[in-house]
Every structure is written in C-alpha cells, then in structure tokens.
Structure 1
Amino acid sequence: MIELGKKQIMYVVKKTPLGIFINENPDDLINSIVLSNQELERADDEKVYELGDEIEVYCYLDQKKKLQGTLMPPLLCNGEIGILEAVETNHFGAFLEWGYDKDILMPFSEQLRPIKKGYKVLVGIYEDKSGRLCATQKIKKILRSDSPYKENDQVTGLIYDIKDDMGAFVAVEGKYYGLILTNELLPNMKIGQKIEGRITKVREDGKLNLTTAQRIDFQMDSDSERLYQRLCDADGFLPYHDKTDKDVINKAFNMSKGAFKRALGRLYKEEKILIKEDGIYKI
C-alpha cells in the first residue's frame, strides 16, 4: 500500500525515452507513476534504471489530486514534526511551504492560534480521513508510544509544549512521546527548541521521561563542583537552600531544582557546607 509523504520502495515497470514508470507491485503497469527524466535530473540521480530495479520515492497528490512520485524528500515527512513557513492563507486555512510545488494545508481546525503569511510555525504532518496530507499544530495527535529506546539512551527531540504543572512535552526523534518533568526544566527552555536528552524512564504506556542532564552520578559531580565554586566566589555564603523556589534556582544556577538538591546533598555529605534557614554556608 502506498503511503503518502513517506519514503518507500517501488519498482521500475516500464522505460520510455521521457522517463520511467514505477509501481509498488513490480508486475503492475496499469496503476504506475511516471518519473520524468527532468525529475531524475533534479534529484541528481544519474543511475540508468532497468526493468525490475528498486527505487526509493516519496509520493504525494498534486494540485489535480493525481498521485505523483519524486526522489526529493519533503521538508517534513508524514508523521514528522518541524518548523514550516506559511506562504498563503485563505478560507480553507494556511498553506505551508514543504518542498513541493503544491503547498501543504493546515486547516483552521488544526491551528492553535490564527496563522498569517510569513509566520514560521511548529507543525506535524498527518494523513486526514480523506487520504490527503495536512499539517497540524496539535502535535500530540501524531506522536507514537512504541519507541525502541530504553533507560539511559541518548536521544534528540523538539519541545512542542510546556505546562508549568507537568513539564516540557517533547517529540523524541520527531516521532515519540516524551516529557521533561517540571523539576528538570531549565529556564531557557521554550517551545520549538531542539534538545539533547537522556531517557530516565520508559513508562508502562510506552511514553518516555527525559532529562537534559547527564547520568546522575556524572551530573552530580559537575553540579556540585559548580555550586561549590559559586559558594567560594561569594565569600562562603549563598542565600539559597533546598526550600528555594525552582524558578529562582533555575535563574541563579541554570540547573533544575532536582539537580540543585542533589548537588546540595553531595556537598553536605562531604561536610563542605552547612544548610541553614537563610542559605548555604561554606565550612
């Protein structure tokens, strides 16, 4: 079955002076797609294809809703998320540039706020009920929970939402549900930001908990050294402790409240500090 907007293997079923005919079924010529010589040249594909050869293509519907194939990937594939620019708006919604002659539509029902021409928006690509590819700002609807990752795996992701009471919602590798919990948030985190993180937990539902910190044993060393140096630079006193608000900690040290408390605990156990109601004292 042909999947729009995704890379897939097809076969050469006919050759002509103007190009090649391809199909997912190597024995089906009737329902084939034409790849012109101009299309092959545009993709810098110099291979001479023979009947039965495999070829990797992306399929989409053109302005006449006719199935087309191309060797060139879109800016975002079906099921992926990223930032696209609005090039036109009308009574259907906003049209976004995504690498093909036909811009992709983001209907009004898929917009979180009104979109104007020139806006760059964080979207995901999905196939609607009618079989057409569309864009949506409702990223959560296209993410999956069947990732191959396990605890302590390193991943990349894109923050698509932040809620103060829950944390930062992340599309891990552009495909999977991820969450950075509130106590692990950093002050510079924002929607649309790319992050590098580590899996701290794979939940029962398959969703992933993340942190941007290193493994705790490594991170504690780094954080406690940094905190102790700040304490020394401040003549042995800092007006912060384990009850200080997380936003104050984030702003002062650029670390999460959880990381701060772990570093504080490390220094306390090493008998380098005293923790009092008004702050931290160097011993």
Structure 2
Amino acid sequence: MAEIGKINTLNLVRETENGVYLDGENYGEILMPRKFVTDEVKEEGRATVFVYTDSEDRLVATTEEPLAKVGEFAFLNVAETNRFGAFLDWGLPKDLLVPLSEQKAKMVEGKQYLVHVFLDVLSNRVAASAKIDKYLDNIPPEYEIGEEVDLLVAEETEIGYKAIVNNQHWGILYKNQVFRPVVVGERISGYISKVREDDKIDLLMEKPGYGKIDAISQKLLETLRENHGFLALSDKSSPEVIQGLLGISKKNFKKAVGNLYKRRLIDFKSDGIKLK
C-alpha cells in the first residue's frame, strides 16, 4: 500500500509519453514523470519513490527526496507567505505549506523554523506544523539505558540542549556532558542515559560507561569551550603556566590531552590545542 509523504517501492503498471504509472494500490495509479524514469526502472518494473501531491493536487512520484518526510521534524526556511500560511523550502518543486492554524506566531519570509511534517488525511496533502509539542511525548518512552537513538538538536537552554529523540520524544543533553561544539538544527547520534519517573529523558553523546572522561579531562574541555575552542598550551608549556591557567600539574595536563586526543575530541596545532 502506498504511503503519501514517505518513501515507497511501487510496481510499474504502464508507460506513457508523460512517464510511467506506478501501482499505488489504495490510491490507484500514480504518475512518475518521465524525467525521473531510468532504464533500471523499466528493466526491474518497479521504482523507489517519494509520493506527494503536485500543485494541482494530483499524486505524483519522484526520485527526489525532501528534507523531511511525514512523521519527521526539520528546520526549514520560509520561501513565501500569503493569506493561507507560510510555504517552506523542503527540497521539492512544490513548497511545503504551514497553515496559519499550525503556526505558533506568524512566520516571516526568509527565516528558519522547526516544524513537524504531517499528512492531512482529508486532502491527502503533506503539510507542516510549528506546534511541535503536540507531536511529541504522546507515547510512553520505552528505551534501554545505553540505547543508541537519533537526535535533532532543537534548542539551547541554560542547562543544555533540548533534542528530539527518534521523532517521538523530548530529551536533554546537559552541557557538562557535551564534549564538542553542538549546533541547533544538527542531527546527531546519541545514547539514553536515563528515563526518569516523570518520563523525562536524559541523553548522552557517548555510550554510558564507555571511555568515560575523567574530571581533569572534563575540566580541560570546559576551559577550551570557554576560550572559543583553543588554548595556547602544549607539552612545551612550562608547569607554572599550566598550573596558573588550569590549576593542574603538567603531568596531569599531558595525560588529559592524550586522553582527549585518542577520543578525537581535540587536535594539535603548532601553537596549542584546539577542539574538533
């Protein structure tokens, strides 16, 4: 059964001048325009495509993949606004509509917003919503400690970074456990640290218990972050300079640097060390 707003593998039914028609089962035949039809599609008799409605509300199939599919979240730019809502650039010829009713505040052309992509089942149109919270934490989180998850960094707060976990839940990455620069909008892999009694999720960027960073290495990382990711220190620096800046011995400094370098968190430069 074909799914609108998602990737489908559909069988070829017939070929015309305009392209090929694919078997959309419950939706009937779906046109795949000729520019997307390859010899491989004809030979195999099937195609892996993204299905959505075109500007005339007809179902079409394309080999182009959008920046986000139904059920996913993404930061997208507003290409245009009008009385119906905002139209987002999501990587396809037809922009993605955020109806006025799905905006938290009126969207502005040229700005970027975090949205959830959904299917309007009444019209079969793919649309988006900026009302993120209503699409998250709707089912109990059933994760194991140490389980790897997909994260979308959504917002920076005083204590860390709010992230969307597996397109289903909110989670938090605490700043004192983030050991490299993190950017809002970035997609990263993370790990479940804890699911609390109130179903809030604590996250880590590294698997719990694996290659733990000791306190001295963590202090060095924090100092690097406070100094825009660079420190003019090396194994040639005097013990007095290291002690004055970090409050640790040169021996412990060298151990911490070695630990962070092995974990690929820092790079050596001719005049110091730098966060990756």
Aligned: 1:152 with 2:143: no
Q: Please say which structure displays the higher CA radius of gyration.
A: 1
Contact 2:150 2:165 in 1 (8 A): yes
Letter in 2 for 1:3: E
Identity rate of aligned residues, in percent? Answer: 29
User: 8 Å contact 1:146–1:176 — kept in the other structure?
Assistant: no
1:154 Cα deviation from its structure 2 partner: 3.3
Contact in 1 for aligned 2:33/2:61 (Cα 8 Å): no
Aligned to 1:20: 20
CA distance in 1, matches of 2:86, 2:127: 10
**Is it true that 1:234 corresponds to 2:231 in the alignment?**
no
Aligned positions of 1:36-185 closer than 5 A: 36-40=33-37, 45-49=38-42, 53-130=45-122, 131-143=124-136, 145=139, 150-161=144-155, 168-173=161-166, 175-180=167-172
Q: What is the aligned counterpart of 1:211 among 204, 209, 216? A: 204
**Cα drift, residue 31 of structure 1:** 2.4
Question: Aligned pair in 2 of structure 1 residues 16, 134: CA closer, same or farther (>3 Å)?
Answer: closer
2:71 aligns to what SS in structure 1?
coil
Which residue number corresponds to residue 265 of structure 2?
Answer: none
Q: Separation in 2 of the partners of 1:190 and 1:128?
A: 31
- TM normalised by structure 1 equals 0.64
TM-fit CA distance, 1:184 = 5.4
Question: For 1:228 and 1:193, how far apart are their aligned partners in 2?
Answer: 24
Q: Relative to structure 1, is the Cα distance of residues 132 and 234 closer, same or farther in structure 2, using a 3 angstrom cutoff?
A: same
Match of 1:219, SS? coil
Taking the aligned partners of 1:209 and 1:147, their CA distance within structure 2 comes to 12
Instruction: Give the counterpart letter for 2:111 in structure 1.
Output: Y
Q: Tell me which amino acid in the other structure corresponds to 2:193.
A: T
Pairwise CA distance, 1:211: 2.0
Q: Within 5 A, what are the aligned runs for 1:189-208?
A: 191-202=184-195, 208=201
The change in CA–CA distance for 1:184 and 1:79 in structure 2 (over 3 A counts) is farther
Is residue 5 of structure 2 the alignment partner of residue 5 of structure 1? yes
> Which blocks of at least 5 consecutive residues in structure 2 are unaligned?
224-239, 249-276
* Alignment correspondent of 2:229: none
Query: For the structure 1 residues 49 and 218, does the alpha-carbon distance in structure 2 shift closer, same or farther, using more than 3 Å as the test?
Result: same
CA gap 1:21/1:129 in 2 versus in 1, 3 angstroms: closer
Q: TM-score, normalised by structure 2?
A: 0.66
Residues 152-209 of structure 1 deviation map (CA, whole Å, 9 limit, x = unaligned)? 13334112245658x6431224x23141166857697664344442211356898743
Question: CA offset at residue 228 of structure 1?
Answer: 8.5
Q: C-alpha distance in 1, partners of 2:89/2:155?
A: 23
- Counterpart amino acid of 1:151? I
Residue type matched to 1:62 in 2?
Answer: D
CA RMSD of aligned residues (A): 3.7
How far apart are the structure 1 equivalents of 2:89 and 2:177? 32
| Distance change (3 Å), C-alpha of 1:77 and 1:147 | farther
Q: Secondary structure at the match of 1:215?
A: coil
Query: Match of 2:64, as an amino acid?
Result: M
Structure 1 segment 255-270 matched on structure 2, within 5 A:
none
The unaligned stretches of length 5 or more in structure 1 are 239-283
Q: Which moved more, 1:31-40 or 1:5-14?
A: 31-40
Do 1:139 and 1:160's aligned partners in 2 also have CA atoms closer than 8 Å?
Answer: no
8 Å CA contact 2:31, 2:59 repeated in 1: no
Deviation at 1:91, TM superposition (A): 1.1
**Distance (Å, rounded) in 1 between the aligned partners of 2:164 and 2:68:** 14
